[in-house]
Structures are given as C-alpha cells and as structure tokens.
Structure 1
Amino acid sequence: MTTASWAGRSFEAEVGAVAHGGHCVARVEGRVVFVRHALPGERVRVEVTEDKGGSFCRADAVEVLEPAPERVEPPCPVAGPGLCGGCDWQHATPEFQRELKARVVAEQLQRLAGLDIPVVVEALPGGPLDWRTRARLVVGKAGRAGFRAHHSHRVIEIDDCPISVPAALEPVLSRRWRPGSELEVTSDGDGQIHVRELGMVRGKRRARQIQGGLAVQHAAGRDWKLDAHGFWQVHPAAADTFAEVAGDWAEAPEGGLVWDLYAGVGLFASVLAGQVGPDGEVVAVESGRRAVSDGERALSDLPQVRWRSGRVEHVIRELPGSPSVVVLDPPRAGAGRAVVESIVERAPARVVYVACDPAALARDLATFGAHGYRLERLRAFDAFPMTHHVECVALVVPKTVGGPGHDGPREPTG
C-alpha cells in the first residue's frame, strides 16, 4: 500500500454501501474511501479531502457520472462538496434518506451487538424542511454568520437555512457580529426566538444573551419553562413522540420506584410520575444544575418526583432501592459500561433507552446482553431530516421472566 497522501487526488469510483456518519463506502486500490454527497450504486468522480494515512481516506463526490434513481436536487444552495457540513443527505429523496438511516442502524446493531433485526425509520410530522428549532452558528471574518464546512473551521456564510424553522435565523443573519464568536439560536414552542452570543473576552469564554433566554415548550400534556439554550429536542414533534413511546413501554407499576437517568428537565419523569402515582417514586438524575432547577419548578405539582443533581455514573451507585423501570436518555456517547452495569445490578423489569447515536446504542445493548438482558422492541425515528442523525428508542428486558437469564436472543417487535 502506498504511503503517499491522496489528499487532493481525483479519480472515478463505484459507490458501495452507506456507512455511519453521512457517507458511503468506495474501494479504490485496496483502500476504503468514505465518500460524501454520493449514494449507493452511483458512479462518481471524487476528490480526496482528508488522508491521514492507513487503510482509509475521506472524499467528496464532485461529479456524478451515473446517478442513483433516488438522487434529487438539494433544496439548499450550500449543501454540496466543500460547503456547509450541517446536512448529509439533501441529495436523496426523503424516503431514501430514511432507508439509508435504517441500513445504518441495522448494521451497527449487527456489528456491535450481534443483533440481526429489521429496522424501519419512521418519519415525524412536518416534512423534511422547516423543522430545526435550535442551531449554533459561527461568525466569519467578515462578521456574517454561517455554518462550518464539513471537518473544517472554515465558515460558510448563509442567507437562510431551509431545514430551520422559518424566520428563526433572521435575528442573526440580518446583522454583523464579532468575527470568531458563536451564536446559539432557539425557536421555542410559542415561536419566540432566543439568541445567545458566545465569545472570548480577555481570554475567557463568555456568554451574552442577546434576545430572550427563558423558553416555553409544550410536551407530554404540560407547559415547560426552561433555559432556552439547555437541552430540549430539536424537532418540534420529537418530545411528544418520545414521551409517548417511553410511557407506553415503561408500564411503571402504581406505587413503584422508577429511575429517569439523564433526565434533563424531567420530560420522561413527568410521564413516569403519572404511572406510579402519588404513592410511588420517580428518581430523576441530571448533571446540569440549571436543568434540575427548571425541572423542579416544572414538576413542583408532582411530589413523587425526587431530583438528584450529579453525573449519572456517580449518583447511580448511591441510589437506594431496586427500580422496577429505568428510563435513560444519555448523550451521544451513550451510557457506557459502568452505567449499564449499575442498572443491571438492580435488576429492573424494563429498561427504556432513548438513543441519538446507533453505534453507542449498539455498544450498550451488547453490555446489557452480556448481563442477562435482551432487546425486546426497537423503534427508530427520523428526528433530524436531511442529516445522518437518527433517534432510536429501545425496550430492554431480562432474558427470563423472573430476572436476568441465559436463553438466546429473540427478534424484537416493532
């Protein structure tokens, strides 16, 4: 294998399977080439954008010689090679985007967890555009806001973003900003726009609220007031959808003990509280102090919800009792082995796992599987249309009815 860098090299390639991360796989001269802006089955001319040596490099499809039937014209003028890195699949029909994501989820589950199951990615209401309620932009040298190019610090200035909620970005795109600063924009459930500027002041990172700051959201039959730039689902339909699925699968017993890990402001805790009733207990664990404060206020009418502030991997070891149900919604890296092992030590009857990364979910499912649990049900949602991101909800149960056991895996139901 040659040791000379391929960076900048151009050649034709046959595009193979989709891979996790918003690209497809081509094989050229014994090397794997991860190609963006292509679709499986296409013949394209690529230009290598990154080569750190080894068995693979990264490239953009700069010319499509034989297009796939699912290829369409991207709705955004900066969704192309060398341009905005925010979207991955604007050049595919929405239906095929979901098919590609389903293939990725299935491949990750098979490769990392040994699970061979069919996967269908469900669309959320609203269509593939005008859904993004939160965005982080960066300011270029000329003082105009935009998004970074893929795997780059280069700023691609924009006039609009077709996947963002209409008019959400107008307050930041209509004026000039300090070059190098970042801008966080949130459109809340009432349509109010919140803007925060992040920048360096005398060598320290500072945040300055430009507009708004306290967001109002509506989900799970409740109104929520929270930090506009704290965690909340990006797609307008996601919070209600995930809360409904988690509630259906949790089946928390009346009067029981349940845990809500990585609780945020308590979306799932509110649903679980209704199931366990006033004689039950929901322990909500969250590391963000502001989220805990907002959650305590939002759920002040539910005394059965008790908050614990701290990192889940630390707090969970100190929690008393054995919960009948655990719901967790970890960050992109997943829960990790230590948290999963702490959960299975308490032998809950049901675990509902909400995941925003299929690889992390698969790794954690493998850990559950090694400790007597199996995947019972799985649903996947296209909560981030036009991007490679996909949200999954998994129900994990003991392999035997009475508790963790050793019988073989069973194909999950949808």
Structure 2
Amino acid sequence: MNQRADREQPQAATAESWLGHRLEVRVEAIAHGGHCVARHEGRVIFVRHALPGETVVAEVTEDRGGSFCRADAVEIRTAAPDRVRQPCPYARPGGCGGCDFQHVSLPGQRALKAVVVAEQLSRLAGLRRAVTVQPLDDGDGLGWRRRVRFAVGPGGELGLRAHRSHHVVPLTHCPIGAAGVGDAGALQAEWPGLAELEVAVDDRGEVVELAHRQRPARHRQGDRRRGDRRRATRPVLSTEQLSGPPALRYSVAGRLFTVHPAGFWQTHPRAAEVFTETVLRAAEPRPGERVLDLYAGSGLFTAALAAAVTATGRVVGLESEADAVTDAGHNLADQPWAAVRRAAVSAESIAAAAVELAGPGQPRGVSIVVLDPPRSGAGREVLGAVMAAEPRIIVYVACDPAALARDVRFAMDAGWRLDELSAFDAFPMTHHVECVAVLRPGGPAGTPAG
C-alpha cells in the first residue's frame, strides 16, 4: 500500500463534502486501525467492514475535507475469500465500534494483522521482516474478553459506542465477552446517572461491577509556552465498586496473583501465561542476574523473572499506579529479592533503579530490561535511559505495532538491533495485536526497506 496512506494529514479542503455519499470502490490494502484503503477521484477512503481485493459500495461516514475521508462498506459487490458472516449482530455498519474484523475468518484476521505489523516495521523502522501472528488458543474468537467497560446511553441502557462516536449502541449481550461479562446480568438493567459500568471476571469466575460517574469537569490552564491562554476541560470520572470480591485472582504457571478490581490484567485468559513464557524464553534470565521490569503492574513478569534469577539475583520493577504497586507487594511477598517501586517510568527513575540494582562485585547494574509500555510506546527518553544502563538484552512487550516500530527505530539509531519478534492474536475480532520484541546491542538486523 501507499506508505503515506494512513498518515491522515489533511490537505486543502474539498469543494463538496462526500458525507452520506455512496461510492463504488475497489478495496486495496489493510491499514493500521482496522480499516482498509480505497481511492476515489484522487482521495483516500478508509473503509471499515471491507477486505483487500473486494469491490464494495462505501457510504461516507466522516468527511472533514482534505486528502481522505472515512466510510463503511454497506454493500459487497465482490467478496474476498476470507469474508464470513459476522457472529455478532451488533458488528455492522453504524453498529458497535468495538470489533473491526467480525466479517473475517480467524486465519484471515491473523494474516491482516501480520501485514500491518510488517508494514509498520517497514515504514517506521526501515526493516523488512516476515511476521506471523500466532493464536493464543484454538477457539472460535468469541467468549474471551474478561473485562469490558460498557457505556451508558441516555436512557440508562448499557452498550458500546459506535466507531469514532459518542453514540451508544444498546446491547443485550457481547459475544466476545467471557462468561459473566458478555452475558452480564447488568446488561438487562438500566443504569441512569452512570457514565460507564465496568464488568470483569477472574479465573475463579468471580465477577466485579465498577460504576464510573462523571464529576464536574476539571479546569486546566492552557499551554502558556504556546501563548494559549484558553482554559481547557476534561471529564473526570469517580469509580465505585458495586459488587464482587475485594480482589480478583489469577493463576499463571501455578502462581496466584491478586489484583485490585479496577487494576490491569491481561484480558485474554491465555495471554498472561503465553506472554510470560515468551518473555522468559527470550530473556534467558540466569541465577544471580539483575533485572529491571518497567511498567511492572501487579508484578506478573517481576515474579517470573525473580524465580529465574533466584535469591542470588535481584529484580526491581517500576510502576506508577498505587493500587498496582500494593498488589505487587502481596504477589511478591515470598520473593524478597524482588520488589515493585512506585514511580513513573522516566530517565531519572530508570537511572535510580539501575544504581539500586548494582551491587558489590557486579559487572553491571542491569543485565535484562523488560518493558510493557502503554499503547503510546516507551519513547526516545525512556529507551535512551534503558540503553544507557547497558543491559545484555531488552524484551519489549507492545500492544501497538506503530509505537513499537518507532521505538525499534530509536534503538537501531543507537546501535541496537531487532533480534526476534513474536506476534500474538490476543484480541480476536479486533485489529489489535500484541508483539514481543527482543533487542540486542550490535547494530541493525533485517533487510533495510527501500
């Protein structure tokens, strides 16, 4: 595909909006974000509910002028071989925006995700690599999501928002939701006064319900460095637990983890174990080594790394969320050589942790760095500090291929190479894909993109 097609940089406004127009187009490549690329009269159209190679009638749903607009495929003139009947009645044009690929066979979904990961590495990191997206289980792609944050409609009904919209599509069930979540009794009730209702389930089948209410908007001063004196506002939600146990419990490789009801845990039932196995296999931690675990959460990777380095080694995790740090303290109580500190991940906190890890007679403070950053990625500052600690290996768990590719480029510019890459279909029916990248010092690996 055109490497610039999904950059979404508007140019001069068109003379006439195409909003609501129906256009017959030939669908080209998949793009990052769950849509495909088509073209009409010199403009790019990002089309949802389509597949590469199809001829479709696309109804324009958003047109702000410039070089591109957005559309839904409302009629399929020529179908691709991987097209299937979507199992969810809400996954349709104008319907729920939560799933992108309900109309695609599971092998087809993984092939599309592999193309996206490879394209992002080529475009943003300058690397050509073959990518295979591995399933986490042999299921049908449904019933896996163990946490869903439902929106509340104007009448108090629960649902999920339409794509790029505040409109709430009411639901009676969510087919990708796990038992207790996708069929939650809360979906049959009304919730006036709430902004959102979050439902989660743990390994024991215990379900929690969290109410999110909107509080008065918080005012914040504009950016004075840019001369912006306007006051901006942002919604603030308060959270209250309505039902369920005081903590959720999950088991990974026979080890029990407790997590605050609102805390982060991998939503696919197999993800935590598969990712832990992948991280350990890549890092090959040895007894006595010193390990830094960034964005450590409640200590999933911290505990596994601590077991591998044994009491002769040390593991320090950094995490900014107070509840997660508390959870990690409980989860690591039997491993006193491991700890998660409360700190935002920054160059300063990484440098301080490296000093803490360096002990008498140690050739280096840090042998291994594992990081699992948010969707925006780690960024140049954090990666620079990680590389300055001179670990022998960096294992990077990424939930966004574009952010990963940008960070890989930073590392390559600093003399590191992308040595291994694994990709997993941790979010079936959606465009999201999880990657585990292994970075080592020693220059770029792979074929530079043309």
Give the TM-score category using the shorter length.
over 0.9
Write the deviation string for residues 162-196 of structure 1: whole angstroms up to 9, x where unpaired.
Answer: 11112324231121101552011101111111110
Write the deviation string for residues 115-141 of structure 1: whole angstroms up to 9, x where unpaired.
Answer: 100000001113301100010001111
Would you say 1:207 and 2:239 are equivalent positions?
yes
Of 15, 32, 39, the residue aligned with 2:51 is 39
User: Which residue does the alignment assign to 1:366?
Assistant: 409
Would you say 1:52 and 2:91 are equivalent positions?
no
Distance in 1, matches of 2:243 and 2:43, equals 50
User: Which residue does the alignment assign to 1:318?
Assistant: 352
User: Which residue does the alignment assign to 2:268?
Assistant: 235
Secondary structure at the residue paired with 2:383?
Answer: helix
Asked if the contact 1:17–1:24 (Cα under 8 Å) also holds between the matched residues in 2, the reply is: yes
Write the deviation string for residues 332-381 of structure 1: whole angstroms up to 9, x where unpaired.
Answer: 00001100000111111111100000000000000010111101111100
Equivalences for residues 5-404 of structure 1 within 5 A = 5-125=17-137, 126-168=139-181, 169-179=183-193, 181-201=195-215, 205-212=237-244, 213-313=246-346, 314-319=348-353, 320=355, 321=358, 322-399=365-442
Asked if the contact 1:220–1:244 (Cα under 8 Å) also holds between the matched residues in 2, the reply is: no
The letter of the residue matching 1:132 is R
Asked if the contact 2:127–2:446 (Cα under 8 Å) also holds between the matched residues in 1, the reply is: no
Cα RMSD for the two superposed structures: 1.5
Asked if the contact 1:334–1:360 (Cα under 8 Å) also holds between the matched residues in 2, the reply is: yes
Asked if the contact 1:333–1:357 (Cα under 8 Å) also holds between the matched residues in 2, the reply is: yes
Runs of 4+ residues over 6 Å off in structure 1: none
Secondary structure at the residue paired with 2:127?
Answer: coil
User: 1:317 Cα shift?
Assistant: 3.0
* Identity between Structure 1 and Structure 2 (%): 50
Secondary structure at the residue paired with 2:101?
Answer: coil
Give the TM-score taking structure 2 as reference length. Answer: 0.87
Question: Unmatched 5+ residue regions in structure 1?
Answer: 400-405
The letter of the residue matching 2:208 is H
User: Which residue does the alignment assign to 2:4?
Assistant: none
Secondary structure at the residue paired with 2:128?
Answer: coil
Asked if the contact 1:198–1:208 (Cα under 8 Å) also holds between the matched residues in 2, the reply is: yes
Write the deviation string for residues 263-306 of structure 1: whole angstroms up to 9, x where unpaired.
Answer: 00111111110121102110110011110010011110001112
The letter of the residue matching 1:157 is P
User: 1:219 Cα shift?
Assistant: 1.2
Asked if the contact 1:332–1:355 (Cα under 8 Å) also holds between the matched residues in 2, the reply is: yes
User: 1:246 Cα shift?
Assistant: 0.3
The letter of the residue matching 1:409 is A
Q: Structure 1 residues 202 and 379, CA, compared in 2 at 3 Å: closer, same or farther?
A: closer
Distance in 2, matches of 1:253 and 1:223, equals 23
The letter of the residue matching 1:389 is H
Distance in 1, matches of 2:351 and 2:17, equals 48
Asked if the contact 2:180–2:201 (Cα under 8 Å) also holds between the matched residues in 1, the reply is: no
Asked if the contact 2:57–2:76 (Cα under 8 Å) also holds between the matched residues in 1, the reply is: yes
Alignment coverage as a number of residue pairs: 405
User: 1:221 Cα shift?
Assistant: 2.6
User: Which residue does the alignment assign to 1:403?
Assistant: none
Asked if the contact 1:43–1:66 (Cα under 8 Å) also holds between the matched residues in 2, the reply is: yes
Distance in 1, matches of 2:15 and 2:252, equals 54
The letter of the residue matching 1:296 is G
The letter of the residue matching 1:165 is A
